[in-house]
Amino acid sequence: MRDWREKDPQNEDFYQTNRLIWAQSAEVSPSVIPNTAQAWDRFHSTIQVPEIQPVRLRRSANWWQIAAVLILAVGVSIWVFHQSSQQSSEQLTILTGNQESVQHILADGSTVYLHQEAELTVVGDLSSGNQRSVQLVGEAFFNIHKDPARPFVINANDMEVRVLGTSFNVRTSEASLEVVVRDGKVAVSEMDGSDRVELVQNQRFILDRKTGVVTVDLDPTENAWSWKSGVLQFQATPLREVLRTIERHYRIQINLANPTIESCPFTSRFQEADISTVLQTIASSFEMEVRSSGQGIYYLTDGKCR
């Protein structure tokens, strides 16, 4: 410090001046003592502090609550699926149109062949339960999967066809019911089980709904399901029955001008033959002529037995 003061006279003057000021300041009492609390209150009044709202935190659900919700959701999903599948099985309906035949395998393994303009409705679930049940309108051929513990029941208007395992043809309408058995055993009865008639191979059951008359006879021709096999065969069959079978097979109308030959026997076999071929064969056998109106109506004129 001394060297700095002696180096320059101005340095010495600066030193002496500041030393004097320092010495005098120690003797002066402060005239103002700051009030820090009052200053802080004055500052706080000039600003706006937003009120802090308490935040209510949501407690997390316990694990058992979460599990309950998941179980409920899964249970509802299973119920909805079950109801949906049950409803769809109960409402399963198979329809066929004109000139259309359909083969369908049912849930129990049985096979049904629906003829033209037929309707089959499945009642319930065929794969479970004590009984398998369907409703039929029109004509169908059934090949039933054998299950002795669960009979297969076909509701045909006001009649019931009950089987265990067999193949047969059913044709039902408002006017009649016809059941023809190819193999196995079939029971036909009223819906309450009364008037039960049991049928075996090649037997045919015919109910005239208007008169209530039931006829049971033999039908070894297999023409009942010719619409499925494509084969028509006749063995010394009266012409009247031949024409009725052809009408049914081809869904046409045939008018026989000479009723005296209705009982004449006819023998022949047709496989996938068109209607023109069939009628020309019959006409040649009985010396008749075939005419057509062009609207599915045919006329057989003249004719005589051989």
Residue 161 has pLDDT above 60, yes or no: yes
Q: Which residue has the higher pLDDT, 5 or 116?
A: 116
pLDDT average, residue stretch 197-213 = 95
pLDDT tens-digit profile of 246-282? Answer: 999 999 999 999 999 999 999 999 999 999 999 999 9
Average pLDDT, the chain: 81
CA distance 196 to 199: 10
DSSP assignment letter at 48: -
CATH 3.55.50.30-classified regions of the chain: 230-302
Bridge partners of residue 123, in order along the sequence: 133
Judge if pTM exceeds 0.75.
Answer: no
Q: Which residue has the tokens 């083969």?
A: 103
Class of domain 230-302: alpha beta
CATH (residue range 93-218):
2.60.120.1440
Confirm if 116 and 96 have CB atoms less than 8 A apart: yes
Q: Which residue has the higher pLDDT, 299 or 90?
A: 299
Backbone angles phi, psi at 278, to 5 degrees: -65, -50
Least-confidence region, from 2-16, 89-103, 117-131, 208-222: 2-16
What is the number of alpha carbons within 13 Å of residue 96 lying toward its C-beta?
21
CATH 2.60.120.1440-classified regions of the chain: 93-218
